[in-house]
Amino acid sequence: MRSAAETRAVLVTGASRGIGAATARAFAAAGDRVAVHYGRNRDGAEQVAAALPGEGHVVVGADLGDADAVRRMVDAAADGLGGVDVLVNNAGLFVAHPIDETSYDEWQRAWHDTLAVNLVGAANVTWCAVRHMGKGGRVVNVSSRGAFRGEPGQPAYGASKAGIIAFGQSLARALGPRGITVTAVAPGFTETDMAAEELVGDTGVERRAESPLGRVATPDEVAAAIVFLASADAAMASGAVLDVNGASYLRM
């Protein structure tokens, strides 16, 4: 638990469930003030915020595909928290659109919607949040192992998660002179609502068998990696990507 002087203002996007909710809980447990962002699930976000330990937490909403709404949301978070010290770009869409099974209209819509939230939305949130950050600021982007191994059924998702790594590395260089670090985590399958369909029955058995550990990650495990990357101890990791996939996919 941090002292009152050390408490930080943390904005977590997509925090109404899954990895985002676990991340909000982890920062709050460390003594930080958290802005719990939601896209559509306001009730879920309010429940997450109400259950957080500590005080000073806020709930903020915005469709990340709407640039003006993003700016209003980040400003509201900064007003409610007294600034933004840490940004976690977690919100994301995962839309199936295999190239051989998707109409041209469906293909275009999947790419537009996915990139609007996962990549352009995250970039816009970051632009706005950095205006409220000082030295010691932290940006942690939630990518995916799909950025490296590919996502044949969800190519826009894979591309967006590769893009957010390149985006983050560019900003790590741009913001480093200001004392702001930018990092990423790349989870594999995680026990969340988004992955629920892939983790039941025979498919679930196959997914867990992809890791030599015989399981997939929990949201709390991914959240712990995010909290570490946002810490002062991880300053020299700026630009790095931390894989959290149980060796289910290995890269050089």
Number of Cβ within a 10 Å radius of residue 42: 12
Catalytic residue, candidates 38, 104, 157, 249? 157
Number of Cβ within a 10 Å radius of residue 234: 18
Residue 249: is it exposed, middle or buried by C-beta count within 10 angstroms (0-12/13-18/19+)? middle
Helices 122-130/155-175 angle, 10° precision: 20
Q: Please answer whether residues 191 and 219 qualify as being in contact, where contact means their C-beta atoms are separated by less than 8 angstroms.
A: yes
Of 59, 57, 5, 68, residue with least CA distance to 28: 57
Is 104 part of the annotated catalytic residue set?
Answer: no
Amino acid at 238: S
Alpha-carbon distances, residue 24 vs 53, 112, 176, 191, 224 (angstroms):
10, 28, 25, 16, 11
The pair of structure tokens assigned to 138 is 């932290």
Q: Which residues are catalytic?
A: 157
